[in-house]
Amino acid sequence: MWKAAIEDAVLKTRRNIEKFGDKFPHVSDGGRYELRDNDEWTCGFWPGMLWLCYEYTKDEVFLEAARSTVRGMKKRMEENKVLAHHDIGFLYSLSSKAEWIVLGDEDAKNLTLEAADKLLERWNDKGQFIQAWGPMGDETEGGRIIIDCLLNLPLLYWAYEHTGDEKYRKTAVIQADKSRRFLVRGDDSSYHTFFFEPVTGEPIGGATHQGFTNGSTWSRGQAWGVYGFALSYRYTGNAAYLETSKRMARYFASQLPEDSVAYWDFYAEVTPETPRDSSASAIVAAGLHELIGLLEPDDPDRAEFADLLERSLASLVKNYSTAGEPEAEGLLNHGSYHVRGNLGLDDYMVWGDYYYLEALMRVERDIPGYWYDRKERTLG
Ligand code: GLY
């Protein structure tokens, strides 16, 4: 089943190369992707899909298209275009870092190091955290950290490995520790974001941006936690991160409906109209594969996580993917971007498509995406 799903995804991605041109898909509206001029937090996911397809097929069409997106990311860096936010890791891990991982290209490596420096610009040294959004020290946004940022930390760990400069590792570790302490709650659920007093670093309290309420659990936030803490464990070996990823995965599993694909928020009332967020389940599928690979062979949770991965990915393929829709542009139906903001409901989300494909590539071919270096390269 995985292979057929990949073949369908590769076919659609190939067709989209011409359709998208030098633009970047974001979220869809009425079945068509909104195409952006490389100015969104999501613009790394399309390059990531192209690199995955290249690794799977070794077809130069994907290589050329992927390289062209990296040129676009270089231009974006040169123009410093919409880079004043924490999502630099999503943008450059899946584009230039992917090129480095796949081809060993030195320019791509240098661009990725520049991106790591850009992410460090979000560091509030007094408060000791990475500020999510807005101008540094901003009156409303100056104290906010966000759980999504856990997927941006691999860029910093990676930069430490390539430069030996402690500042990257230290920043990532403090942010991961703070996220663990303040974003993950005692019952293993999570806040989407948390506010600190920006000058003293005093904790203020949890708040949401895209979730149902401040105290609810936004399913995609929980998903970022599952995958993000597993990656922090891979880079640091700190067992507390592994344990946190496991706790968050168990909680995610405990909240799933019968078909094993998450609703948009675990506290939202479930009615026939309640939106799913297939992208949250796609992130967790890829993250579970990562997590399982990090567990000891006799870990008591291994079988349960393997079963959850199998069940959710199978349900995504059967019930949520566009595999039976030859003309579809996206890969995964029923994603939700921002339900409370009435934005991107029941649509394709490019990160949903990316993580769906990454999860499939992981289970079928052991291609783990571009969050960390590998022992071997897929030379072009
Ligand atoms: N990182 C933004 C989101 O998940 O919507």
Name the active-site residue from 29, 37, 87, 353. Answer: 87
Q: Determine phi and psi for 63, rounding to 5 degrees.
A: -60, -50
The pLDDT of residue 256 is 98
- Mean pLDDT of the residues in the chain: 97
The pLDDT of residue 377 is 76
Residue 278 in contact with residue 285, Cβ under 8 Å? Answer: no
Ligand 1: centre distance to CA 26 (Å) = 11
- Does residue 8's CB lie within 6 angstroms of at least one atom of ligand 1? no
DSSP three-state, residue 354 = helix
Question: Phi-psi bin for 352: left (phi > 0), alpha (psi -120 to 50), beta?
Answer: alpha
Side-chain-side CA neighbours of residue 84 (13 Å)? 10
Question: Cα–Cα distance between 359 and 207 in angstroms, integer?
Answer: 30
The atom of ligand 1 lying closest to the CA of 90 is 1
Q: Is the pLDDT of residue 315 over 60?
A: yes
Tally of CB atoms within 10 A around 56: 21
pLDDT in tens, 167-226: 999 999 999 999 999 999 999 999 999 999 999 999 999 999 999 999 999 999 999 999
E strand or H helix at 144? strand 144-146
Mutate to test the pocket of ligand 1, among 86, 210, 264, 347 (most ligand atoms within 8 A of CB): 210
Ligand 1: centre distance to CA 164 (Å) = 30
Question: For atom 2 of ligand 1, which residue has the closest CA?
Answer: 148
Q: Is 70 exposed, middle or buried (0-12, 13-18, 19+ CB in 10 A)?
A: buried
Residue 304 in contact with residue 245, Cβ under 8 Å? Answer: no
Mutate to test the pocket of ligand 1, among 43, 86, 148, 347 (most ligand atoms within 8 A of CB): 148
Side-chain-side CA neighbours of residue 123 (13 Å)? 20
Q: What is the pTM of this model?
A: 0.98
If pLDDT is split at 50, 70 and 90, which confidence band does 100 have? very high
Mean pLDDT along residues 160-165: 98
pLDDT in tens, 30-60: 999 999 999 999 999 999 999 999 999 999 9
Q: Is the pLDDT of residue 379 over 90?
A: no
Q: Is the pLDDT of residue 255 over 90?
A: yes
Ligand 1: centre distance to CA 148 (Å) = 6
- Per the structure block, which two tokens stand in for 194? 């948390």
- Per the structure block, which two tokens stand in for 353? 């498509």
Question: Cα–Cα distance between 81 and 121 in angstroms, integer?
Answer: 14
Q: Is 359 exposed, middle or buried (0-12, 13-18, 19+ CB in 10 A)?
A: buried
Ligand 1: centre distance to CA 163 (Å) = 29
DSSP three-state, residue 333 = coil
CB proximity list for 364: less than 8 A, separation 6 or greater:
2, 3, 6
CB proximity list for 139: less than 8 A, separation 6 or greater:
none
Question: For atom 5 of ligand 1, which residue has the closest CA?
Answer: 337
- Does residue 220's CB lie within 6 angstroms of at least one atom of ligand 1? yes
CB proximity list for 37: less than 8 A, separation 6 or greater:
23, 24
- Does residue 85's CB lie within 6 angstroms of at least one atom of ligand 1? no
The verdict on whether 373 is a catalytic residue reads no
How far is CA 271 from its chain centroid?
Answer: 28
Percent of the chain scored above 70 by pLDDT? 99
pLDDT in tens, 134-151: 999 999 999 999 999 999
Q: The domain 2-365 is classified under which CATH number: 1.50.10.10, 3.40.50.620, 3.40.50.300, 3.20.20.370?
A: 1.50.10.10
Which spans in the chain are helix H? 2-20, 45-57, 60-79, 88-93, 96-103, 106-120, 153-163, 166-182, 219-236, 239-254, 278-294, 302-315, 350-365
Report the DSSP beta bridge partners of residue 321: 332
Ligand 1: centre distance to CA 337 (Å) = 7
Question: Cα–Cα distance between 231 and 226 in angstroms, integer?
Answer: 9
The verdict on whether 307 is a catalytic residue reads no
Percent of the chain scored above 90 by pLDDT? 98
The atom of ligand 1 lying closest to the CA of 224 is 4
Question: For atom 1 of ligand 1, which residue has the closest CA?
Answer: 148
Q: Is the pLDDT of residue 261 over 90?
A: yes
- Does residue 148's CB lie within 6 angstroms of at least one atom of ligand 1? yes
Report the DSSP beta bridge partners of residue 332: 321
Please, what's the b/e burial string for 165-184 (b: 16 or more CB within 10 A of its CB; e: otherwise)?
eeebbebbbebbebbbebbb
If pLDDT is split at 50, 70 and 90, which confidence band does 375 have? confident
